[in-house]
Amino acid sequence: MILLKLLLLVVIIWLVYSLLKKYSRSVDRDEQAPDVPASPEDMVRCARCGVHLPRSEAILSGDETFCCEAHRSEHQS
């Protein structure tokens, strides 16, 4: 009964394959860091026009933040 043997072989391969998949998935989950959102940048608000922008792109002036140099000087005058 070569057909039966073949069927058995296919079933075994499938079992091993699905077990490996399950195993690798659980390993992946263990190794991954907990889902921390990629540290969203601080958003600041332009004191002149109210637009929100990341702190790194803002122009800082004292305690206030601005979207551009023009708004900074407008606000201060």
Instruction: Give the x-and-dash track for 1-40 against Zn ion (CB under 5 A).
Output: ----------------------------------------
Rg (C-alpha) for the chain, rounded Å, is 30
DSSP E strand stretches across the chain: 43-45, 52-54, 59-61, 64-66
Indicate the residue among 41 and 57 with the shorter CB distance to Zn ion. 57
Applying CB under 5 A, which of residues 59, 65, 71, 72 lies at the interface with Zn ion?
Answer: 71
Residue 43 sits in the site that holds Zn ion (CB under 5 A): no
Indicate the residue among 44 and 48 with the shorter CB distance to Zn ion. 48
Contacts of 46 (CB under 8 A, 6+ apart): 52, 53, 58, 65, 66, 67, 68, 71
Indicate the residue among 8 and 70 with the shorter CB distance to Zn ion. 70
